[in-house]
Structure 1
Amino acid sequence: MTLLKSEMDLLRSVPIFAGMEPSRLKLIAFTSDSIAYRQGQVMCRQGERGDSAYVIVAGKADVSIETEDGDFVVATLGPGDVVGEIAILCDTPRTATVTAKSDVSALRVRKECFLQLLRQFPEIAAEVMRGLAERLTHMNQELVAARNRAAIAPDTAD
């Protein structure tokens, strides 16, 4: 089996690409890089310039943000999830650090190719937006829960 065919098969297993025509999958596979991360390895770091997005093919990755009290995990992503797209879409530094929670197999899609994919394939753009909305909803729920915990916690500053 050729490397390109193998990458196309990987893409077909990812929900945002599953229903795409083989010719489109071939284009995506040709323009992306297959990359592996060991458990604990950083995939991208908060504050760095974003030059690519990652589609997780296998494994899990933690998304964390730096706080005064240390890193705080805000999400755990798995197969089919896209990560790193915020820095590309908003042209800002990475908003979080992504660390492989287990061994991770991913496809790295460079910024120009990722933006071109979103323009050419509205179904991918819709899936990316859905993923972002889910993460935002989850983060809002976490913030409300944290605020409620802080409001009922006894004041120990006395």
Structure 2
Amino acid sequence: MPLTLLREHAFTRGLTDEQIAALAELATEVAFQENDVILVDGQHSTSFYLLLTGSVVVELRTPVSVMMVQALGPGNVFGWSALLDRQDTLFQVRAREHTTALEIDGAKLQARCMTDTRLGVELLHRILHVVAGRVKATELRFAEMCGIRI
């Protein structure tokens, strides 16, 4: 099942059949209910997720409030910090509705990328685009809060 889902996912589009099969070996389908907190900011990150159905919200928590940074739907990914050694999660991620995703263990994916460097380089480029998008979304939200038009 993960193999078919990965072949159809926007994040993996353009990967070779071998690369998709390698990811499928590490993937498990998971489900979340509305308002389930999937990732907690400040905690050690262990899983990388590819959204299949539903949606999640990426949030920045402060002691007094929670600010939505970005809403993500099918075809998006989150949990990229799980691919970095000793990196805590930077944002909280919460399900907005019933949501399904493929969960990949970050340590296992990182190990696979070290042995299959072509896969590692390809995923690095894709994840850097995700990180850049998250930075841009954060910048836009802060500018909006300050009344600045970008």
Shift of 1:116: 3.8
Give the conservation status (yes or no) of the 8 Å contact 2:48–2:106. yes
Rg larger for: 1
Shift of 1:49: 1.2
1:36 aligns with 2:35: no
Query: TM (normalized to structure 1)?
Result: 0.81
Paired residue type of 1:126: H
What is the percentage of aligned positions where both structures have the same residue? 20
Give the conservation status (yes or no) of the 8 Å contact 1:13–1:57. no
Query: TM (normalized to structure 2)?
Result: 0.85
SS of the equivalent of 2:132 reads helix
Q: Which moved more, 1:87-96 or 1:123-132?
A: 87-96
1:140 aligns with 2:135: no
In 2, Cα distance between the equivalents of 1:117 and 1:55?
Answer: 17
In 2, Cα distance between the equivalents of 1:123 and 1:16?
Answer: 11
Give the conservation status (yes or no) of the 8 Å contact 1:61–1:76. yes
> Residues 19 and 87 of structure 1: is their aligned pair in 2 closer, same or farther, counting only changes over 3 Å?
closer
Matches within 5 A, 1:78-97: 78-89=73-84, 91-97=86-92
Mark the runs of 5 or more structure 2 residues left unpaired by the alignment.
none
Shift of 1:24: 2.2
In 2, Cα distance between the equivalents of 1:68 and 1:62?
Answer: 18
In 2, Cα distance between the equivalents of 1:23 and 1:141?
Answer: 38
In 2, Cα distance between the equivalents of 1:123 and 1:92?
Answer: 21
**Which residue, 74, 98, 104 being the options, matches 2:99?**
104
Give the conservation status (yes or no) of the 8 Å contact 2:11–2:50. no
Q: Which residue in 2 is equivalent to 1:46?
A: 41
In 1, Cα distance between the equivalents of 2:143 and 2:64?
Answer: 18
Mark the runs of 5 or more structure 1 residues left unpaired by the alignment.
1-5, 150-158
**1:77-97 C-alpha deviation (Å, 9 max, x unpaired):** 122222111254262221121
1:8 aligns with 2:16: no
Paired residue type of 1:114: L
Aligned residues: 144
Paired residue type of 2:65: G
Let me know the Cα RMSD of the aligned residues: 1.9
